[in-house]
Amino acid sequence: MQKGTPMSERHDDDARIDDELIALLVHEHRAYTRPALQRLWDYYRNELDFDAGDANRPYRAAQEAGLPRRLTAAPGAATRSVEIGGGRREVVIENDIAWRVHTLVDFMFGKPVSFESLAPDAERARLIERVINTVFEANGGVCLFQDMALLGGVYGFVDVMVRGASEGSGIGTGVADRAPSKQQHEQRVLRAAASIVIETVEAPRAVPVLDPSDYRQLVGYVLHYTQLLNRVDRTSFLARLVDGGGRARGRQATVDVTEVWTADEVSVYHDGELVEQRVNRLGRLPVVHVQNLPQPLVYEGLSEVEPLIPLQDELNTRLGGPAPYGYDRQYITPDGSVLRTIRTLPDGRREEFGADGRRIRIIDKCEHIGRKMKSDIVRLVPGEPGQVEAVRRIFKMCADGYGFRNIVIDLNSRGVPGPRRTRWNRQAVKTILQNPCYYGALVWNRRTFGKLHGVEPDGTPRRKTVAESTRNPRSQWIIIHDVHEPLITKELFDKAQAAMQERRNKGGKARPTNRYLLSGLIRCDHCGYNFWGCVVKNGRGDHRYYVDAGYRAQGIKVCRSTSIPTKSLDEWVLAQLRNLMLADGDTVHEAVDGFIEATMKACRVPQAKSHDPSKQLATIEQRIQATIQLLTDGELTDLPELRERLIQLKNQRQQLVSQPVMSEPTIPRASEKDLREWASRQLDQLERGLSGKLPPHQMRTMVHSYVGRIEIEPYKQVGRLFIPRTLADALTHEHISRVKSGSSHLTRLRSIKFTWGSGQIVSHA
């Protein structure tokens, strides 16, 4: 917590606070500020409400307010009430906020505090130390600082008010005709010190009145709270005889207290009526304001609880929700003994297994299974063997190059039940393939639900510019490795991720069934999406178009609607490839000669290049160790930058470790005769394709071999076709990509600009 300093106050003729202003500030505090502060306290304490429970679980925890409705609502409930339909679902709450705050308080004020005066006079220094220790011990000792740290950590700030010294005993009382002795004077000073009350004012009671021109100056200070009275609030004496048991019906009486402090006077109101008004003998506001973490130009400080609320909600959601497909939840003691294992069934019921693995019972989806003990540990263990085998098959097929559609078809044809006992779909397969839990890791911070704060990869809070729920990029995920038993290896997971990324990069080329000639080649310059092929049906027949996938997937907020007739664009692209064969005016034989010369030159490379990341890994490891060494130096001022640099280095190391050592193969040597025969066959196939004599799938393969890409600018209705500069370049690339894996990108391209409209494609210089 930051060091507290007394707030300064104004001394002018306008120091008295208007009654209407007080009423407005108190109303706003009760209506808006106090509920927000109460939410912070609820997440810290997580108190149990026994009046809001049901027959299955006779209480409701405060943190349940942050759980999604699918976990808190009763099955089939259509309203917000969760007591409908026979009870509430099981939820598990693990309060991680409380122990963080308690650890902070114990770290700061876990030991007794001593005071030492630096006064030059030893006798005076001794008296000052005795006075301060007397005041300190009279107000709870170190517990005073612990209360301040606790309240400040939860609410973001705490105020401290001094009472008693100006209202009670005075130092000058005594016999007037003779001066007190030194010992008597010291005793009176200590008695006065013991009468001083240092009151911690928690944020829900504090209503500061700030100077409009300077938030650091207090014009006044208002305390508003509800005080219990030592009497019962009931309508009549006969009420205690009601209910047959002699119990008094009613409640303890309360009164709303409002204290208004200024530098000149103190006014006290009970239920809005003035009951006391006195002079402030101190002549100043006896308030010290302590911020937990300061905010610029704001009276309130930053709370420790607020940035942890979204993480706490995510933790409770994970603990209360079903385990990932293929896993069960197992409860174990701190010494490793298994208590039970819970398996979620597709219909919402759960199977409970004992420590020996035998099934004990089937638990209804509305039945509570008992609260998890604080010391218990919940971990994921492999579940039903059929589900485990399905997970492994999904990753194996993806790593072998199969897409989501083929995997779905394979699983459904084998009769493998999906996560909800339904048929498999693309989203279910994609969710499994993207979940690192299957190689034994857990991921946090995939999404941000906080309105004001998000979380960095090292766990520190960060300010948000958007209040809505957002999906965080992979670089901000918090991944903890080796948490539970994996179902697949890390190598297989990485291989599957690489295969999915390769398919995304290839677009339509990766799909096994392309129905359109240019699928995967057309990309929008504005939104980055590929163009899809679609059919528009009307009374005049079917019309095929290439359409912008960005607009089709996410609407006008991503890109505008753009469509190009497939027939016109296909014919125009084939015409450009036909011109490529006669581009230079040179003979085809000269183009073949150029191809042979370039290919023979490339074949003279004696050795293959290899990609070995070991040297880069060694360099990064040295930098990581050096950064860790710097972080141990507590006197450095740029520790946050060093932590961020350490995270970047570890991410680079992880990427290099996951990359296999690749060797770039050399181009095999070939004779001039073989090259000439191959080129002749290619030219013959190209000529047959341009003449329409090839089957559709061979035609698509041929076009993709000679077309680099097609870029579309939707708002200008302009496109660019990228093809090789010469026929020799096209033949050279095709030969190299055939014999050398990993070199499928065309180089030395030229662009041809075109526009479209009224079903026509027009070329431009």
Q: Considering the chain, what is the average pLDDT of its residues?
A: 77
| Contact criterion met (CB below 8 Å) for 29 and 239 | no
The burial of 287, by beta-carbon neighbours within 10 Å (0-12 exposed, 13-18 middle, 19 or more buried), is given as buried
Question: How many CB atoms are located within 10 Å of the residue 754 CB?
Answer: 21
Residue recorded with tokens 């035998």: 358
Question: How many CB atoms are located within 10 Å of the residue 557 CB?
Answer: 8
For residue 742, the model assigns a pLDDT of 42
CA distance 748 to 765: 19
Q: Identify the bridge partners of residue 254 per DSSP, sorted by sequence position.
A: 228
For the chain, the 3-state helix, strand and coil shares in percent, each to the nearest 5, are 40, 20, 40
Q: Dihedrals φ, ψ of 213, to 5°? A: -95, -10
User: Has residue 520 got a pLDDT over 60?
Assistant: yes
Tens digits of per-residue pLDDT, 706-727? Answer: 888 999 999 999 999 998 887 7
pLDDT-derived band at 637 (thresholds 50, 70, 90) equals low
Instruction: Tell me the mean pLDDT in the region 496-514.
Output: 70
| Residue with the larger pLDDT of the pair 634 and 710 | 710
Q: Where are the beta strands (DSSP E) in 241-349?
A: 251-261, 265-270, 273-279, 287-291, 327-332, 338-344
For residue 155, the model assigns a pLDDT of 93
Per cent of the chain over pLDDT 90 is 19
For residue 3, the model assigns a pLDDT of 43
Interhelix angle 96-109/142-155, rounded to 10 degrees, is 140
| Contact criterion met (CB below 8 Å) for 725 and 749 | yes
User: Has residue 604 got a pLDDT over 60?
Assistant: no
| Contact criterion met (CB below 8 Å) for 562 and 551 | yes
Q: Dihedrals φ, ψ of 13, to 5°? A: -70, -20
For every residue of 195-249, DSSP letters joined together read: T-EEEEE-GGGEEEEEETTEEEEEEEEEEEEEEEEEEEE-S-GGGGGTTSSSPPP
HSE (side-chain half, CA atoms, 13 Å) at 399: 15
Question: How many CB atoms are located within 10 Å of the residue 160 CB?
Answer: 19
pTM over 0.85? The answer is no
For residue 6, the model assigns a pLDDT of 46
Tens digits of per-residue pLDDT, 727-763? Answer: 777 777 676 655 554 444 556 788 999 999 888 899 9
For residue 82, the model assigns a pLDDT of 35
Tens digits of per-residue pLDDT, 2-40? Answer: 444 444 444 444 456 788 888 899 999 999 899 999 989
For the four alpha carbons of 336, 340, 346 and 349, in that order, the dihedral sign comes to negative
Q: Identify the bridge partners of residue 763 per DSSP, sorted by sequence position.
A: 754
| Contact criterion met (CB below 8 Å) for 725 and 750 | yes
CA distance 678 to 699: 18
In order of 479, 619, 621, 622, 683, the CA distances from 650 in angstroms are 12, 12, 9, 11, 51
- Among the residue ranges 208-217, 303-312, 481-490, 626-635, the one predicted with the least confidence is 626-635
For the four alpha carbons of 724, 726, 730 and 733, in that order, the dihedral sign comes to negative
Residue recorded with tokens 């699983």: 411
Q: Identify the bridge partners of residue 328 per DSSP, sorted by sequence position.
A: 381
Q: Dihedrals φ, ψ of 487, to 5°? A: -95, -20
Per cent of the chain over pLDDT 70 is 72
Of 686, 720, 728, 681, nearest in space to 703 by CA? 686
Of 735, 765, 734, nearest in space to 750 by CA? 765
Instruction: Tell me the mean pLDDT in the region 470-481.
Output: 75
The number of helix segments (H) and strand segments (E) in the chain equals: 20, 33
Structure tokens at 65: 């307010």
Residue environment code for 442-470, b if the CB has 16+ CB neighbours within 10 A, otherwise e: bebbeebbbeebbbebeeebeebeeeeee
Sheet holding 338-344, edge to edge: 359-363, 350-353, 338-344, 327-332, 377-382
Tens digits of per-residue pLDDT, 228-282? Answer: 888 887 654 545 544 444 444 567 889 999 999 999 999 999 998 999 999 988 8
Residue recorded with tokens 């989203």: 427
| Contact criterion met (CB below 8 Å) for 707 and 521 | yes
- Among the residue ranges 72-76, 186-190, 253-257, 495-499, the one predicted with the least confidence is 72-76
HSE (side-chain half, CA atoms, 13 Å) at 197: 9
Of 577, 529, 523, nearest in space to 699 by CA? 577
For residue 202, the model assigns a pLDDT of 92
For residue 620, the model assigns a pLDDT of 80
For the four alpha carbons of 428, 429, 432 and 438, in that order, the dihedral sign comes to positive
Residue environment code for 348-363, b if the CB has 16+ CB neighbours within 10 A, otherwise e: eebbebeeeeeeeeeb
CA 25-309-27 angle, 5° bins:
10
Bin 250: left if φ > 0, else alpha if -120 < ψ < 50, else beta.
left
For residue 370, the model assigns a pLDDT of 55
3-class SS at 372?
Answer: coil
Of these ranges, 285-289, 318-322, 626-630, 700-704, the one predicted with the greatest mean pLDDT is 285-289
Q: Where are the beta strands (DSSP E) in 599-730?
A: 610-611, 662-663, 709-713, 718-724
User: Would you state the torsion angle of the CA atoms of residues 615, 618, 620, 625, taken in this order, to the nearest 10 degrees?
Assistant: -170
In order of 129, 151, 326, 608, the CA distances from 140 in angstroms are 17, 16, 55, 78
| Residue with the larger pLDDT of the pair 262 and 479 | 262
CA distance 609 to 607: 7
Interhelix angle 96-109/34-45, rounded to 10 degrees, is 90
Tens digits of per-residue pLDDT, 135-182? Answer: 999 998 889 999 999 999 999 999 999 987 544 444 444 444 456 788
